[in-house]
A = this chain, B = another copy of it.
Amino acid sequence: MSPTFRLKNYFKPCLQSIPETSTVLHCKSSKLLLENGLVSPTGNGLYSFLPMGFRAVEKICKIIDNELEAIGALKLELPALTSIDLWKKTGRYDANNNELFVLKDRKERKYVLGPTHEETITNLVASSAPHPVRSLPIMLYQITAKYRDEPRPRYGLIRGREFIMKDLYTFDKSIEDAKVTYEKVSEGYDKIFRRLGLQFLKVEGPTGNMGGTVSHEYHYPSPIGDDRLLLCRACNTGVNVELDRPSQCSSCNGRLTETHGIEIGHTFLLGSKYSSALNATFINANGKTQPLEMGCYGIGVSRIVAAAVELLSSERQIRWPLEIAPFKVCIIPPKIGSKEEAATSFVDDIEKRLSKSKEYNGDILIDDRTNLTIGKRFMEAKKTGYPFIVIVGKNALDQTPKFELENLVKQTNEQLTFDQLMTHLDA
Contacts and interface: CB of A to CB of B under 8 A. Distances in A.
Interface of A: 2-3, 8-11, 13, 15, 37, 40, 42-44, 46-51, 53-54, 57-58, 69-70, 72, 74-83, 98, 101-103, 105-106, 109, 111, 113, 120, 123-124, 127-128, 134-135, 137-138, 140, 144-145, 147, 149, 151, 161-162, 164, 369, 371
Contacts of A371: 134
A268 B77 CA distance: 29
A282 to B, nearest CB: 13
25 contacts: A3-B70, A11-B138, A13-B128, A40-B124, A42-B78, A42-B79, A42-B82, A43-B81, A43-B83, A43-B111, A44-B109, A46-B79, A46-B81, A47-B79, A48-B76, A48-B77, A48-B78, A51-B74, A79-B145, A80-B80, A81-B147, A81-B162, A105-B149, A106-B149, A144-B145
Nearest to A53: B76
Nearest to A55: B75
A257 to B, nearest CB: 37
A77 B48 CA distance: 6
Nearest to A107: B44
Given A9-B135, A48-B120, A51-B76, 16 more contacts: A10-B74, A11-B140, A13-B127, A37-B128, A40-B127, A42-B82, A42-B124, A43-B79, A49-B76, A50-B124, A51-B75, A57-B77, A80-B80, A80-B145, A105-B149, A145-B145
A175 to B, nearest CB: 20
A103 B106 contact: no
Nearest to A78: B48
A2 B75 CA distance: 14
A383 to B, nearest CB: 17
Contacts of A113: 103, 113
Contacts of A127: 13, 40
A128 B40 CA distance: 10
A40 B128 CA distance: 10
A42 B83 CA distance: 8
Given A40-B124, A42-B124, A81-B162, A76 B54 contact: yes
B3 A69 contact: yes
Nearest to A10: B74
B9 A48 contact: no
A111 B113 CA distance: 12
Contacts of A70: 3
A258 to B, nearest CB: 32
Which of A2, A111, A151 lies at the interface centre, i.e. has the most chain B CB atoms within 10 A of its CB? A111
A271 B96 CA distance: 45
Contact of A51 (B3, B49, B140): B140
Contacts of A98: 106
Contacts of A151: 106
Contacts of A120: 42, 48
Given A9-B135, A113-B103, A149-B105, A54 B75 contact: yes
Contacts of A75: 51, 54, 58
B9 A72 contact: yes
A124 B302 CA distance: 19
A76 B82 CA distance: 26
Nearest to A127: B40
Contacts of A10: 74
Contact of A54 (B9, B40, B47, B77): B77
Nearest to A123: B42
A195 to B, nearest CB: 16
A72 B47 CA distance: 23
A345 to B, nearest CB: 22
A135 B8 contact: yes
Contacts of A43: 79, 81-83, 111
Contacts of A102: 103
A369 B135 CA distance: 9
A10 B140 CA distance: 10
A262 to B, nearest CB: 21
